[in-house]
Amino acid sequence: MRQAIGIWTLLLWSLCGTGRGEGRLNLFIWSEYIDPEVVAEFERQEDCRVVIDLYEDEAAMVAKLRSGGGGMYDVVVPPDHTVPGLRATGLIAPLRLENIPNLKNLRPKFRNPPFDPGNGYSVAYQWGTVGIYVRTSVVKAGASSWGVLFDPGLQPSKFALIDNPRDLIGAALNYRGHGLNSVDLGQLKEARDLIVAAKERCVGFDGSVGGKNKVLSRVADAAIVYSGEAARGMAEDPDTAFFIPKEGSQIWLDNLAVLAGAPHRDLAERFINFLLDPEIGARISNFTQCASPNLASTPFLKPDDLKNPVIYPPVEVMDRLEFLKDPGPRRKLYDELWTQIKTR
């Protein structure tokens, strides 16, 4: 769910603080997804160092955790639909909510999510949407459809596909009028064929950050991105825009979770509580330009962001958005389709 942090910054973080027993926090997070100044403040407060490892999609994140990363990291930032699987496989630990009193600052609808009742294993971090980021001088005025990527008649000459199976397959499903959580084999094959055809015409696959940067650098004129990347890109280049397709799209919620093998579990829960502080939560959203689930942060959020429909969509747009769901045993269908998409 998302400017990658430079190596020099990581080195500074890894060298700061002398530590005091639990003097290190290992954070596994999307790129461009936390304000370095917030991290530095936590390091000063706890006299610790925060070591950050980055990922660009949840499949890579889950694969690394399953291959031994679950004992390397303390805090991970999983999307909503991955939380049940991480819990079922024992990769994330139950949260000791008594150590996270700032949970009360979340909006009520984020305090008891259907994928994790009672916030037993996760806490809301940021939320947003998935849509198409375009260069307005190239993409036809009034474009409002996933057809910008899937219809040769609407496609610009240069476009990028997002390198994320659920996001891309979901977009193709929506374009064909299906729900983005479909497990119907016929509908999934239809989506696969649509993506394979688009693959032949695109400039390649990339993550959301990479897609935004391709549009900014004019390597591509359209790309699927997350709303936070789009908002930052539009602030940098006013000749770009973002829209949520008329056929429907995705609303996502990223979360904070503690790994079951976390080397520093107490520090991890203090970190989560720190991020839920009203002013800290606002500083994170002001940096990412993603929507904040923290109700108490509202007075500290940038007024222009609160009025920005890219970040906080109007009701009529929200009505056509879906959350991704864990497909459970049928997850293999998506894995198989993604392999076919990438190898054809």
Instruction: Give me the average pLDDT of each 10-residue run along the chain (344 residues).
Output: 40 39 87 95 97 91 91 96 95 98 95 92 98 94 90 94 96 97 96 97 96 98 97 97 97 97 97 98 97 98 97 95 89 93 94
Q: Which CATH number fits the domain 7-127+253-312, given the four candidates 3.30.870.10, 3.50.50.60, 3.30.930.10, 3.40.190.10? A: 3.40.190.10
Domains 7-127+253-312 and 128-250+316-343 share a fold: yes
Domain locations in the chain as residue ranges: 7-127+253-312, 128-250+316-343
pLDDT of residue 22: 62
DSSP codes of every residue in 35-74: -HHHHHHHHHHHT-EEEEEEESSHHHHHHHHHTTGGGT-S
Q: Which CATH class is domain 128-250+316-343?
A: alpha beta
pLDDT of residue 15: 40
- 47's tokens: 């006299």
pLDDT of residue 140: 78
On the CB side of 295, how many CA atoms lie within 13 Å of its CA? 10
pLDDT digits (tens, 9 = 90+) for 285-343: 999 999 999 999 999 999 999 999 999 999 999 999 999 998 888 888 999 999 999 99
**Chain-wide mean pLDDT for the chain?**
92
Please give the Cα distance from 13 to 301 (Å, whole number). 26
The stretches of 152-260 forming alpha helices (DSSP H) are 165-175, 185-199, 208-216, 227-236
